[in-house]
Amino acid sequence: MRTFFASLLFCVLSVSAFGQSNISATAGGPRQVQTGAQFAVEFAVNVRPESIQPPDFKGFAVVGGPMVSSSRNISIVNGRMQEEASYTYTYYLQGLRAGVFPVGAATFSIQGKSYATNTLSIEVVQGPSSPASGSTPARPQAQSAAPAATGQKIFLRTLLDKTTVYQGEPISATIKLYSSTQISQTTDATFPPFDGFYAHEVKIPLPDHLDPEEVDGATYGSAVIRKYTLFPQKSGKIVIAAPSMKVVVPQRIAPSASSFWDDFFGSSVQPVEMDVPGTSRTVQVLPLPEGKPESFTGAVGTFTIKATLDKLQARTNDALTFVLTVSGSGNLRLIEAPAVSFPPDFEVYDPKTTVQAGATDVSGYKTFEYLIIPRHSGTYSIPGVAFSYFDPTARQYKTLLSEGFTLDIAKGEDQGTGPAVVRGVDREDVRFLGKDIRYIKTVKYAASRGENLFFGSIAFWLWYLIPALLSGAALWWRRRYIRIYSDQTLRKHLHASKFAARRLKKARSFLDANQRESFLEELSRALWGYLGDKLNIPVSELSRDAAMQALRERGVSEEAVMEWVVLIDTAEFARYAPAVAGQDLPQVYDRAVSLISRIQKELTK
């Protein structure tokens, strides 16, 4: 097995040596561009260079780059191995003014020798709109992403079932996310405040996938992320602000580290955060027509009304319950209580209001429950209650009349003897006053001064001092806790060893279960993750060269740095070439644990 690997490695190195004997460097770019337009210039070489010296780019603004990419193709024809490799450095430029501008040669440094590309000549013609001379050109979006990512599209839309309504008429608003690429996470979502509307959020389940939907001739994956029912509170044009959010998408990037395995396995995938735009919407709200009935209390929609009375015969000072129920669809929560003509001999309490509505807050019913108490005997009547509403479909006001009631009130036993005890909804019992007064005692008490006083003693001062010290310590700890956990970078730095220990423990469990692939993957995460957290290196910038440079700058010994590189190569090679790897995995695990402990000690000196 080792003999096979040695043969394979020899063949690959032989191919590399063959390629180095025929080194070629080239430059490519457009011949003509417009002012203000962004374009790419590429410098390529067929052998991995140690460095590149780009030209001055006089007459152009550099808005991005270099974007590094590589490709390698190995083929065997008639028993002979052939290789084609390419290492490309892409710069993004912008023409500032019209004219013909030369682009000098880029110089590659390879094994101590310099190799120059050819020169270019680019003509810049006047475009339809170009920036003023000396102005700062706009930077391209998502420089860390590969140019192929420009074809992806993610956006938000606010969908309305109606854009012209009457004041108070409900509108269904849906916010949907559209994407033509895979999304791994959403963050920092901002939704409209819906100024000028009474807004009710409709509870919907969180989306777990995107459904295909066609928009403007293109197919996207879509998902509903918010849904609202809106009730406009004023007339005129009302603007609904645009929603926005951030998403994390996986994007393929070119390798930036100088590693044999990067060249062999090609590019990698890393998460990239993107801003997702939305658009605002405008709703035309029509005012309600003139000629509102006196019984109109703001109801817009389609409704019915019903009145009930718990009993028609009672005695004086008995509590009665009168209930008005408005049912239908519309702005239920915004309806005010209709006017009811109760007899003047009745004591009436403010109504208790209850709303029962569906998920969209449009259909349901609203009740107004009155507590009434007749104070004198006799026959009384409660006339039917008039209720008016505006029907937006018919564009007219409609008035309904509820049932009326006639009551027979008999004389109660306590009528005219004083206040009565009343039991009703949300009311305390009416009680006689003056029977629960407690008199002040007039007996004189003689006060005397004790010999051992608590005031001024040591225990007295400790009683105040100890809680103050404990409060100060608790406040200090809380501020420290908030500072650490609000700063994710600081938190990762302080707990880098703890996070690495968790990953190593998980890797050990995979090793014990003889899950080779999972063990190597978790071990690699522990090694990379520890350095990223401890050295404060973002995931997008974490590479072999960046990690080695950061370790050396922090005073870590060269032996520990090289041991980390060997372990990373060992883990990656064992993952991708298990058939030719004869590694003692328990020994690799012990070396990783020892190395992380060693680096931790050297960093904390």
Residue 543 main-chain phi, psi, to 5 deg: -145, 175
Element holding 569 (H helix, E strand): helix 558-576
* Three-state DSSP state, 38: strand
Determine the pLDDT at residue 77: 56
The CA distances from residue 51 to 45, 107, 132, 392, in Å, are 11, 8, 35, 73
In the CATH scheme, what is the code of domain 150-285?
2.60.40
Which amino acid, one-letter code, is at 7?
S
2-140 placed in CATH 2.60.40.10: yes
- pLDDT band at residue 485 under the 50/70/90 scheme: low
Amino acid found at 231: F
Q: Two tokens at 485?
A: 């956990």
Average pLDDT over residues 327-336: 92
Q: What is the pLDDT of residues 99-112, one digit of tens each?
A: 899 999 999 999 88
> Given this model, what pLDDT does residue 171 score?
94
Could you tell me how many residues make up the chain?
605
Residue 250 backbone dihedrals phi, psi, to 5 degrees: -80, 130
- Tell me the whole-structure pTM to 2 decimals: 0.45
Whole-angstrom distance, CA of residue 167 vs CA of residue 284: 9
Q: What percent of the chain has pLDDT over 70?
A: 75
- In whole angstroms, give the CA distance from residue 80 to residue 102: 42
Which of the residue ranges 37-41, 73-77, 533-537 would you say has the lowest mean pLDDT?
Answer: 73-77
Q: What is the pLDDT of residues 267-295, one digit of tens each?
A: 455 678 888 888 899 999 999 999 999 99
CATH class of 295-410: mainly beta
Among 96-110, 277-291, 348-362, 433-447, the least confident range? 433-447
Determine the Cα–Cα distance for residues 505 and 503; give it in Å rounded to an integer: 5
Task: Say which range, 253-257, 397-401, 412-416, 438-442, has the weakest mean pLDDT.
Answer: 253-257
Instruction: State the architecture of 489-603 in CATH terms.
Output: Up-down Bundle (1.20)
Q: Where are the domains of the chain?
A: 2-140, 150-285, 295-410, 489-603
The answer to whether the 150-285 and 295-410 domains have the same CATH topology is yes
Cβ atoms 402, 387 nearer than 8 A: yes
* Burial category of 128 from C-beta neighbours within 10 Å (exposed 0-12, middle 13-18, buried 19 and up): exposed
**Summary mean pLDDT of the chain:** 78
Return the pLDDT at 487.
52
Distance CA 524, CA 261 (A): 14
Question: Are the C-beta atoms of 432 and 419 separated by less than 8 Å?
Answer: yes
Residue 17 CB: number of other CB atoms within 10 A?
9
Question: Once rounded to an integer, what is the mean pLDDT over residues 347-372?
Answer: 91
- pLDDT, average across residues 302-315: 93
Cβ atoms within 10 A of the Cβ of 201, count? 13
Higher pLDDT, 375 or 265: 375
